[in-house]
Structure 1
Amino acid sequence: MRFSLSSSALSTRLQTLAKVINTKNSMPILECFVFDVSQGQLRITASDGENRMTSLVSLSECDSEGSFAISSHLILDAVKLLPEQPLAFDVNLDSYQVTVEYQNGQYQLVAQNAEEYPQVQPIEGDIHTLTIDASVLVSNLSRTLFATDNNEIRPVMNGVYFDLTPEHLAIVASDGHKLVRCRNYDIKSEVPASFILPKKPANLLKNGLDPNSGDVVIKFNSNAAELTFADGTLRCQLIEGTFPNYNAAIPSDNPNELLIDRKALMDSIRRVLPFASISSQLIRFKLSMGSLQLSAEDIDFATSAKETLVCEYNGQPLQIGFRGDYFCEVLSSLDSDDVKVMLGDPSRPGIVLPSVQDEHEDVLMLIMPLILNE
């Protein structure tokens, strides 16, 4: 079997798929990519046993069809430094000898039988289907992933929650200290359904899915999901369990509204933060009409910092504490020029919103306060 394709197209797909493969695998063949040539295309597959991702690459020519498994490290290292040029693969499907020819040389590799690669069972049972634009999926995963938990005691919070209702699709993440809820009113279902996407496949989609690739179709049941997009698929296990009632954690009335330049606030927090206690990372927000004062101190090292920003604030004079690094994460995940910060009393969570919401979307971020020692 002989086929040829673009070196840069192959390298790009391999670098994305390599993120699926674990450094240590239960089966040696999971350290390989599977190359499957069919109908003038090359389908490349990578798996870690729980997640399985495929990607399609167009071939400039091929003389037959077949499949083989090839070392991921070897082929990735072989092609990633090549400039854009045609690559020709010559594969003996009896001996699994592979020759890769390029402009100034060639590689000789030994492949394996692709039939030894573990197969996946089709998703069966009570199946739900969700269709979402790739750009919407990527942007919402980018907004939410930072808020997922890493605690094994609460596995349901270690992923991104998709909550499909008759009114909207909500994409949610929380670690108990911060929460992100992104609603899309264009996507809804008469039959409510939900699933929790683990962090690894969520990151694979965030970093590897082309936002301009059109619709992504998600088929899921209670324990697995299959996402189909323009140039490939992702099959993954889901986190089983019940996600907490996230809406109950969001205050219904935070009357004090702060409107401020997002980047100016983030830069100010970053300047003050090095002077905060290492353990608490506490930043004090002191609000009065038209003014926000940020301050931090570390009593153990006798260091402190204070900075005042001009803002729009017409609420009651208020002092409230937040963890500075968490607040910066919240601000970094937004892209609006200005943000609204809705505050209640010093013990109530703060709500951070973009000053202007995209049509048919509602993005909300919540951050828990820290106790202030007067």
Structure 2
Amino acid sequence: MKFIVSSAALYSHLQAVSRVINSKNALPILDCFLFQLQQGILSVTVSDSETTMQTSIPVIESVTEGKIAITAKTLLDALKEIPEQPLTFSVDSATLEVTVTYQNGQYSLMGQNGDEYPQATALSAEAVKFTMPVDALLTGINRTVYATADDELRPVMNGIYFDITQEDITMVASDGHKLVRCQVLDAKGSDRAAFILPKKPANLLKNILPKEQGEVTIAFDERNAVFELGNYHMICRLIEGRYPNYNSVIPKDNPFKVTVDRASLIGALRRVAIFSSQASSLVKLNIKPGSINISAQDIDFSTSAEESLPCQYSDSEMSIGFKSTFLIDILSNISSAEVILELADPSRAGLIVPVEQEEGEKLLTLLMPMMLND
């Protein structure tokens, strides 16, 4: 097996898929990239036994076809130091020795038999299939993945729920304290269907989608999902189980609506939260017509802070407490210049929605309050 490939093209593709590889693998061969050369196309496969990703790289020249597994860390570290130039890979099929020749020298390393690399499972014949724009999927993942849980007792909460209807595709994530619902209006399915995408493959997609354009084809059955992109192909195990009815927890009638500048509110929260209790990160929002007062205190250390911001609000005065880290997370993942806080009373969940929705999406976030002592 012998081929010539651009060092920069190879390195960027290897770097993108290398995130699949776990730091510790049960099978030693899963520490490797699987190189397969067929008809002038080099495909590189990586897997952690639950998620498998493949990318294709056109080669400049190829002599003989074949497959070889090469240790990922060694190859990545070596390629990182080489400026853009053609690399010649020569593989001795008898000894599995790999020689990489470049302008001023060469690397030699031992490969492993590519036939021993685990094969990804195929989807069943009943698999559901749909397409959505690459940027819509990327936006949906960016809007929701931060709100997924790390809950061993409720694994269904540890991923993004895709709710597919004939009108739109809704992506939902919640950790029990905060919830994000992002309706993608530019995509729809042919029938009602749903699946839960785990956090790791969601983050892998978040890294490779900015390099892609056009449409992504998604197919899934009860156990696995396949994402087909121009240069990448990913198959991953899904989280099995029933996702909670997310619409039932979203309050329908929140009479108090506060419009405030998003960036100013984030800045004030970050400054004031420094003085909140380290155990709770509680900040108190005291809302009056025309202004919002943000305060925090740590009784143990006798520290406190408060700051006022102008806002659009004309109802009666009210106070509500939130965990500052969660509120900052939510506000940081909204792109609108202004947000609306929709509140009912200090014990009910508050909704945070952008004043201006992005084209093709409808975003809603929910945050559970914290009890105020006063």
- Please classify the TM superposition score into its range, dividing by the shorter chain length: over 0.9
Q: Which residue of 2 aligns with 1:76?
A: 76
Q: Counterpart of 1:361?
A: 361
Distance in structure 1 (CA, Å) of the matches to 2:62 and 2:126: 40
For residues 279 and 197 of structure 1, the distance between their equivalents in structure 2, rounded to whole angstroms, comes to 31
Q: Percent identity at matched positions? A: 46
- 1:358 Cα deviation after fit: 2.1
Aligned to 1:257: 257
Q: Distance in 1 between matches of 2:43 and 2:122?
A: 18
Q: Contact 1:147/1:178 (CA < 8 Å) preserved in 2?
A: yes
Question: What aligned pairs does 1:233-244 form with structure 2 within 5 A after superposition?
Answer: 233-244=233-244
The CA deviation string for residues 89-146 of structure 1, in whole angstroms up to 9 with x for no partner, is 1122232221111122110111111100011231004210121111111111111111
- Distance in 2, Cα, partners of 1:233 & 1:212: 12
- The equivalent residue for 2:282 is 282
Q: Distance in 2 between matches of 1:212 and 1:65?
A: 28
- The alpha carbon displacement at 1:45 in A equals 0.4
User: Which structure 1 segments of 5+ residues have no match?
Assistant: none
Query: Any conservation in 1 of the 2:212–2:230 contact (CA below 8 Å)?
Result: no
CA offset at residue 249 of structure 1?
0.8
Q: CA deviation at 1:148?
A: 0.4
Q: What is aligned with 2:205? A: 205
1:344 aligns with 2:344: yes
In structure 1, the residue matched to 2:222 is: 222
Following superposition, the deviation at residue 185 of structure 1 comes to: 2.2
Quote the residue 2:181 is aligned against.
181
Q: Shift in Å at residue 64 of structure 1?
A: 2.5
What is the distance in 1 between the residues matched to 2:302 and 2:292? 23
Residue 331 of structure 2 aligns to a residue in which SS?
helix
**Cα distance in 2, alignment partners of residues 21 and 131 from structure 1:** 27
- Shift of residue 316 of structure 1? 2.5
Q: Is the 8 A contact 2:155 2:239 kept in 1?
A: yes
Secondary structure at 1:157 match in 2: helix
CA RMSD of aligned residues (A): 1.2
Aligned equivalents of 2:154 and 2:267: distance in 1? 33
Which segment is superposed worse, 267-276 or 55-64? 55-64
The residue type paired with residue 45 of structure 1 is T
Q: 1:270 to 1:45 in 2, by over 3 A?
A: same
In the TM superposition, what whole-angstrom CA distance separates every residue of 1:313-332 from its partner, at most 9, and x where no partner exists?
A: 22331100111000000011
The answer on 1:25 being equivalent to 2:25 is: yes
Deviation, structure 1 residue 4: 1.3
CA distance in 2: counterparts of 1:103 and 1:94, whole angstroms: 26
1:45-104 Cα deviation digits (max 9, x unpaired): 000111100011121111222111111111111101222221111122232221111122
SS in 2 for 1:135: helix
Match of 2:142 in 1: 142
TM-score by length of 2: 0.97
Deviation (angstroms), 1:248: 0.6
Q: 1-side partners of 2:155 and 2:121: how far apart? A: 24
Report the equivalent of 1:291: 291
Which whole-Å CA distance do the structure 2 matches of 1:311 and 1:317 have between them? Answer: 13
Bigger shift: residues 288-297 or 185-194 = 185-194
* Shift of residue 200, structure 1, vs aligned partner: 0.6
5+ residue gaps, structure 2, are none
Code of the residue aligned with 2:46 in structure 1: it is A
